[in-house]
Amino acid sequence: MGAVAAALVPGMPHLLAADPAPSWRELAAATRTVGDRLRERGVEAVLLLSTQWFTVLGHQVQCDPHLTGTRTDENWYAYDYGHLRYDLAVDAELAHAWADRIDAAGLQARRTRYTGFPVDTGTVTAAALLGPFPLAMVSCNLYADPDVLATVAAAGVAAAGDRRVAVVAVSGLSSGLIPRWITPAEDRIAEPEHDRWNRKVLDALAAGDDVAPLRAEFTRAAQADSQFRAHAFLTGSGAAGGKAEVLAYGPVWGTGAAVVWWEG
Amino acid sequence: MARVFHATAGSSRTVRKRGGIVAGYLAPHPPHLVYAENPPQNEPRSTGGWEVLRWGYEELRRRLAVHKPDVLVVHAPHWITMVGHHVNCVPNPRGISVEPIFPHLFRYHYDFATDVDLAEAIVAEAADAGLVTSAMRDPGVRVDYATIGALHLANPAWDIPVVSLSANNNPYFYSDAALDEMETLGAATARAIERTGRRAVLLASNSLSHLHWDREPDLPEDMGVERPFDHHQYAGDMELLQVVREGPTERLRAAVPKHIAATQAETKAGSLTWLLAAMGWPAIAGDVLAYGTVIATGNAVVEWVP
């Protein structure tokens, strides 16, 4: 039946801060809005890719049906948002079907189910804000071309069959951090040029333009998070082809972050 | 005619009695090497593989026993910290480290002692040198496989205290470490070692050429498919190792960035530059104990003794 919606959401844990910067609060509220919309549309499972779960061999698919624990972030551990409890339900049947479809597409799926597996901060942050959807998660191969990530997403939607699913990519825009410890009030996009490029890309998405031709330049000019391949994943799902709605945009420790919604 | 400087390889068995840096090792960390060894701390079982590199590590262990260090100080590229340089100051890190990329190969139960005094001294010296620096005192932070891998392969008994340093990188843009900052961090590390009077051995947990396969054979240790990624990557590694073997290390200031540009070398994370800077870029050659590939990446075990 295809994915009913797609969304890009940030993965920085600052969105869960007890004392957030204004932009962190707005981005968190927008991500919760995405969760509300998914529930309104009766979404049964979310196909999720986080660029913070980066891998190098094939495409890892999380097959553990229940992930629980505390994620202590190796960089943000000194803050409240560096300690994140999680209790995630994985739609293991969908995950295995997704892995099978990835294999069938000529790629290599790697089924992942290990006690103590370190779930990434981006996944935990997004899941906390979206709400308790069953998830099917795939890693972001560092070296996969955008077309390959698009194929991976299409495989997930095909694997879902008659389930009502949505596709979510957890990633950022410009990735230039402020390289020192700051207070929330000091947060801003690290470079004006990064801000300009973030807005250019978001405007293009809102207009329904094809941003793929911008990807390489966006990457060079603004250090785009994982070469903005998260967008290729979303478009590959078939649910992010039209005009997007930008629900929020702002800095997270100098990086650019946005919540973007596509009606499938 | 080009003049080639031939220095004595740094493997003399003279034992330095007083404190300071007594040796430095390029100590790559592919989890495959730990997996292949089947140590009791690691859950997966293998049938072996990558023997030449592991023989190199066996020689490293013999030499380490002669050096009798008080502490092993390791800089590793997979404890990625986006803001500043972090030093693990947890007295007794312990837990299980499930490697997110190779969980089928590396699920390692670690339990080791940190030399907290030296760790705190490195934090203080680095901060005084103007670096953004943090003392990591949270036992909940999982120790990464590059730290564990280098330490296990150098000293599987874990009977020498440890100080581990993070790599200040941006994982989402695959950025390189600022090598000038690694010079500063290395010098700060050396000052802290001198100030605390420790006999220290340094480990730079880096591979060399870093292009690799994106698929794995059904048997991970199938050596029938293990080879360099291509000749260009192999030749780049050999060019660098020739400079290492000839010395002096000063030549590596230029050779390392050139090698990074040519081979996407993991030394871009800065560990090797940190090590050599801490040793003061000594006018010696390195002793290459082994070279081999792991899923096509180049890896060398190298010793420098000042």
ipTM value of the model? 0.93
Are B150 and B205 in contact by the 8 Å Cβ rule? The answer is yes
Instruction: Give residue B75's pLDDT.
Output: 97
- Average pLDDT on A127-138 reads 98
Whether residues A108 and B175 touch (CB distance < 8 A) is answered with: no
pLDDT in tens, A60-86: 999 999 999 999 999 999 999 999 999
Mutate which: A64, A114, A151, vs B, most B CBs within 10 A: A114
Q: What distance in Å separates the CA atoms of residue A142 and residue B100, rounded to the nearest whole number?
A: 13
Q: What distance in Å separates the CA atoms of residue A51 and residue A117, rounded to the nearest whole number?
A: 16
Nearest residue, CB atoms, A74 vs list B80, B102, B174: B80
Question: Which residues of A are less than 8 Å from B100 in CB distance?
Answer: 53, 55, 117-118, 120
The C-alpha of B268 sits at a distance from chain A's nearest C-alpha, in angstroms, of 16
Tokens 């978001």 locate to A202
The C-alpha of A117 sits at a distance from chain B's nearest C-alpha, in angstroms, of 6
Question: Which residues of A are less than 8 Å from B214 in CB distance?
Answer: 56-58, 108, 141, 143-144
- Average pLDDT on A170-191 reads 96
Q: Which tokens sit at A1?
A: 């039946």
Which among B299, B302, B303, B291 has a CA at the least distance from the CA of B30? B299
Instruction: Give residue A1's pLDDT.
Output: 75
Q: Which tokens sit at A48?
A: 């999720």
Q: How far is CA A148 from the centre of its chain?
A: 17
Nearest residue, CB atoms, B132 vs list A60, A78, A180: A180
Task: Give me the tens of pLDDT residue by residue for chain B, a chain 306 residues long.
Answer: 233 333 344 444 445 567 899 999 999 999 999 999 999 999 999 999 999 999 999 999 999 999 999 999 999 999 999 999 999 999 999 999 999 999 999 999 999 999 999 999 999 999 999 999 999 999 999 999 999 999 999 999 999 999 999 999 865 554 555 788 999 999 999 999 999 999 999 999 999 999 998 888 999 999 999 999 999 999 999 999 999 999 999 999 999 999 999 999 999 999 999 999 999 999 999 999 999 999 999 999 999 999
Instruction: Give residue B13's pLDDT.
Output: 45
Mutate which: A57, A59, A145, vs B, most B CBs within 10 A: A57
Position A102 confidence tier, pLDDT thresholds 50, 70, 90: very high
The residues, any chain, with a CB within 8 Å of residue B128's CB and separated by 6 or more, are B188
The residues, any chain, with a CB within 8 Å of residue B32's CB and separated by 6 or more, are B49, B50, B102, B105, B220, B221, B294, B295
Q: What distance in Å separates the CA atoms of residue A181 and residue B262, rounded to the nearest whole number?
A: 34
SS3 state at A44: coil
B214: contact with A, CB 8 A cutoff: yes
Q: Which residue of B has its CA nearest to A84?
A: B140
Question: How large is the C-alpha radius of gyration of chain B?
Answer: 18
The C-alpha of B12 sits at a distance from chain A's nearest C-alpha, in angstroms, of 39
The C-alpha of A13 sits at a distance from chain B's nearest C-alpha, in angstroms, of 13
Tell me: pLDDT of A40 over 90. yes
Task: Say which amino acid occupies A38.
Answer: L
A56: contact with B, CB 8 A cutoff: yes
Whether residues B132 and A179 touch (CB distance < 8 A) is answered with: yes
Q: Which tokens sit at A2?
A: 């295809």
Position A264 confidence tier, pLDDT thresholds 50, 70, 90: confident
The C-alpha of A255 sits at a distance from chain B's nearest C-alpha, in angstroms, of 11
Nearest residue, CB atoms, A58 vs list B79, B141, B215: B215
- With pLDDT > 90 as the criterion, what percentage of chain A qualifies? 98
Whether residues A72 and B142 touch (CB distance < 8 A) is answered with: yes
Q: Which tokens sit at A88?
A: 């995630």
